[in-house]
Amino acid sequence: MIYTKDLIFSFNEKTTFAFPDLKNEASQTLLITGTSGKGKTTLLHLLGGLLRPNSGTISIQETNIASLSEKELDQFRGKNIGLVLQQSHFIASLNVLENVVLASWLATGKKAIEKAKSLLKELDLEDQIYKLPSNLSIGQQQRVSIARALINEPKLLLADEPTSSLDDENALKVADLLAHLSKEYQASLIIVTHDYRLKSKFSNQLNLN
């Protein structure tokens, strides 16, 4: 589970965010909404340890990640946090399978090849595993990102605008997929979005205004 308390972050003197406290249990989904400029992606990057707060607590599995050193944070993130970002940041020269396996090797020093194949099969990508990501559709690339985020069985799964570039059918498929996999892996799922299509799917919401 994850909770935050008294979280404050400043880019500069003119741009400071004071975020409301949040709490989300394992297997639950929290939708964070709000108009542009309200700090949705900033909050997600704080929860994922990509940014550090000026003050406040971010507790994941009873570990306050804001108090960890950079090395400790890197290790904790690799093993406990899965990120599905707006830009997939694939290694262009590696195929789909290699990109997913790389995430396991970076976090654990081991190449979870069979596990990666199983995940990709579950995401209906078994026929695409030897293709380069650039040869996939946007929807397929998004599912590869989800596989990569789940390979280390994280306790927290963070998704930043996972449906914004998808049509209605694929947007709903990805949303259902994320919720299903969150329950299967008992991960706390937090989705940051301005996509109105998702607001009717998830009742647990936090609006930044």
Q: What is the pLDDT of residue 101?
A: 96
What's the CATH number where 24 sits? 3.40.50.300
Burial degree of 70 (CB within 10 A; 0-12, 13-18, 19+)? exposed
pLDDT bin (cut points 50, 70, 90) of residue 208 is very high
Note the pLDDT of residue 191. 96
Domain count, the chain: 1
pLDDT tens digits, residue range 85-108?
A: 878 889 999 999 999 999 999 888
3-state helix/strand/coil string of 163-195? CCCCCHHHHHHHHHHHHHHHHHCCCEEEEECCC
Name the residue range of residue 113's domain. Answer: 2-207
Q: Give pLDDT tens digits for 39-49.
A: 999 999 999 99
Under the banding of pLDDT at 50, 70 and 90, the label for residue 145 is very high
* Helix/strand/coil for 118: helix
